[in-house]
Amino acid sequence: VGMAAPAALQRSVVSPAGRHTASLIFLHGSGDTGQGARTWIKQILNQDMAFQHIKVIYPTAPARIPFFPINTAGSSVWNLKKAISNDCPEHIESIDSMCQGLTDLINDEVKNGIAKNRILIGGFSMGGGMAMHLAYRFHQDLAGVFALSSFLNKDSAVYQALKINESVLPELFQCHGTADELVLYSWGEETNKMLKSLGVSTSLHTFPNLHHELSKIEIEKLKTWIIKKLPVEAAKRN
């Protein structure tokens, strides 16, 4: 039985200060919300992650039945998996159904006049994993992908798709703490090496003593990369 098409995702939005010419989609970690991720970044920076020309969108994953043993009545997760491990098989139905909902979000931006090469997608933890599926399997014409404390499974569908890929791929900006006890640094490193071997231009920024969390230096580095990938466009002359 196919999963029903997901309802439009709820989202928290930071509008650009000036003319909107690019968009950034940030996917939260498991059990969080778009608003939660935005608030977390705001606490770290003492202000929103905001730009002159880039709209920042924090969607919220739909609430699902609990996945691995966390005693909650349903967590906002991007896909269902049995365990946090890099050799646990991917739950491809839930990933693909979510990619559909996120594709609708991308299409909303395109309808607003934003070209796909002016849209970046990324996220924290499971959100970063989801962003890699979305970009490398379905939207290879996006401006770039970022993955913070994230990984892909050893035999990920992303790797299978890239083995037969011919097109130019979005660049990947990855960050990972060496003290991460939830998503091991080695899993992030292995993901980076695999994607690089499959033709993705990648960078991996290592943060000593950083646990499964975000840091100020990391977000500042990310912001610099975002502006490099989505520069301010010169005003069009008539």
* pLDDT tens sequence across 116-125: 999 999 999 9
Helices (H), the chain: 34-45, 92-111, 126-133, 157-163, 185-197, 216-229
Higher pLDDT, 4 or 219: 219
Catalytically annotated residue among 30, 76, 125, 149: 125
Q: What is the pLDDT of residue 26?
A: 98
Q: What is the pLDDT of residue 86?
A: 76
Mean pLDDT over all residues of the chain? Answer: 88
* Predicted local distance difference test score (pLDDT) of residue 69: 46
The single residue listed with the structure tokens 């950083």 is 210
Q: Who wins on pLDDT, 92 or 174?
A: 174
Decide if 32 is catalytic.
no
pLDDT (average), residues 99-117: 95
Q: In the predicted model, is pLDDT for residue 166 greater than 90?
A: no
Stated as kind and residue range, the H or E segment containing 13 is strand 11-14
SS3 for 147?
strand
The more confident residue out of 87 and 136 is 136
Report the DSSP pairing between strands 54-59 and 22-27.
parallel
Q: Which residues contact 223 (CB under 8 A, 6 or more apart)?
A: 49
Please name the residues in contact with 234: beta carbons below 8 A apart, sequence gap of 6 or more: none
Instruction: Determine whether 53 is an active site residue.
Output: no
What count of other Cβ atoms lies within 10 Å of the Cβ of residue 209?
8
pLDDT at 89: 77
Q: Report all structural domains of the chain as residue ranges with CATH numbers, in order of start.
A: 11-229 (3.40.50.1820)
For residue 73, the model assigns a pLDDT of 43
| Lowest mean pLDDT across 1-15, 41-55, 72-86, 144-158 | 72-86
pLDDT band at 238 (very low <50, low <70, confident <90, very high): very low
Active site residue 125: yes
Q: What is the pLDDT of residue 91?
A: 82
With bands split at pLDDT 50, 70 and 90, how would you rate the model's confidence at 87? Answer: confident
